[in-house]
Amino acid sequence: MAWRRLPILLFLLPCAALAQTLRQEAQQRGILIGTAVNPVFLSEPAYAGTLAREFNMLEPEDAMKWYAIRPDEKTVNFGPADRLVEFAQAHGMKVRGHTLLWGGHDPAWLKTHTPEELSKILREHIERVVGRYRGRVFAWDVVNEAFDDRGALKDSVWHNQPGIGLAGKGTTYIEQAFRWAHEVDPRALLFYNEAGAEGMNEKSDAVYSMVKDFKKRGVPIDGVGLQMHILDLKPDVAGIGANIGRLTALGLQVHITEMDVALPVDAEDNPLHPEDLTRQAEIYGEIATACLRHRGCTALQTWGFTDKYSWIGWFTHKAKGAALPFDRSYKPKPAYNALQEALRPRLRPGN
């Protein structure tokens, strides 16, 4: 009989009334909630609508990378990046810039230059890109993924192959990029962004030592980005919390910059084990909670938002997917509800 359900209904009603978008929850909680975006999809109403409704920050997934802006020496292409910045402005969203210096995915033409030329090219690039978006991009991933898993600096065109003339001087080339970016936009927050350095390990130790040294010597750095691509459903959440703790204790901000939680999938991108969706939701919730425990953890961002467009399939040769909070039809998944729950302002003291 219907009246028997009345108590349940009365209980659910206020919960439903309280349920808000991620953006609204995040706003009340004082944290930024962002996602990586591709301007090609903005013409799709469900894509643009979900993006503006659920997020208060966006980051170009590829449109501000070297190969997008400078595919060859003569070309400077800001079109796709501009479209994203304009979308963000039209919808009251912040923009995270990504990325000014990354050894991966550099266009081949850079390799033909001497260290002196590369130094000039990098400085001009930073001036051009940071200058163009001054006042519109609030935070930059100045340098991305410079360390290997053992905590050694990776070889790259900027570091030592041939490098910008600072090879053999450790992290000085990274420091130089931060100094140049700061000169162009002293108000932008400058981040070092890394993969696989979320928890406590040799790579995160190397990142920690570098940023501690930067802080001590007054190198203009404001934060560390932890990418958070979770591929195995077994993140070390305690270690991640400890790492966020030691970084924020330096007076740095932490942004979770590229979160996704990949699941084993079939050829149609459906999870092989439906129960994985529950585990995925728990992980989203646990990471959001680990971030929120630290005042200095100021942004949580996913690497895309709909399973329709996610880099994970490409990255894992289609073995994994379904990694994001919305399914391929933009329907919220359990992961969405877990994020919503984690972000919800706590009503009771001690909760």
The answer to whether residue 195 forms part of the interface with ligand XIL (CB under 6 A) is yes
Single out the residue of 21, 35, 50, 144 in contact with ligand XIL (rule: CB under 6 A). Answer: 144
Cβ nearer to ligand XIL, comparing 192 with 340: 192
List, as one string, the DSSP characters of 115-130.
HHHHHHHHHHHHHHHH
Cβ nearer to ligand XIL, comparing 35 with 160: 35
Interaction pattern, residues 1-40, with ligand XIL; x per rule: CB under 6 A: ----------------------------------------
CB of 194 to ligand XIL, least distance (A): 9
CB of 175 to ligand XIL, least distance (A): 20
First to last CA, the chain: 36
Q: Are 252 and 294 in contact (CB under 8 A)?
A: no
- For ligand XIL, the binding residues in 269-298 under the rule CB under 6 A are none
The answer to whether residue 61 forms part of the interface with ligand XIL (CB under 6 A) is yes
Cβ nearer to ligand XIL, comparing 141 with 175: 141
CB of 315 to ligand XIL, least distance (A): 7
- For ligand XIL, the binding residues in 198-237 under the rule CB under 6 A are 227
Cis peptide upstream of residue 171 (ω within 30 degrees of 0): no
- For ligand XIL, the binding residues in 299-318 under the rule CB under 6 A are 311
Cis peptide upstream of residue 162 (ω within 30 degrees of 0): yes
d(CA 34, CA 22): 10
Neighbours of 172 (CB within 10 A): 16
CB of 67 to ligand XIL, least distance (A): 9
Q: Which amino acids are annotated catalytic?
A: 145, 258
CB of 68 to ligand XIL, least distance (A): 10
Q: Which two tokens stand for residue 210?
A: 């570098």
d(CA 133, CA 213): 28
For every residue of 133-195, which 3-state class applies, written as one string?
A: CCCCCCEEEEEECCECCCCCECCCCCCCCCCCCCCCCCCHHHHHHHHHHHHHCCCCEEEEEEC
Contacting residues for 28 by C-beta, under 8 A, at least 6 apart: 20, 345
d(CA 143, CA 181): 10
Q: Which two tokens stand for residue 192?
A: 């070092």
Q: Which residue is nearest to ligand XIL (CB)?
A: 311
The answer to whether residue 260 forms part of the interface with ligand XIL (CB under 6 A) is no
Total of residues contacting ligand XIL (CB under 6 A): 7
CB of 61 to ligand XIL, least distance (A): 5
Contact set with ligand XIL (CB under 6 A): 61-62, 144, 195, 227, 258, 311
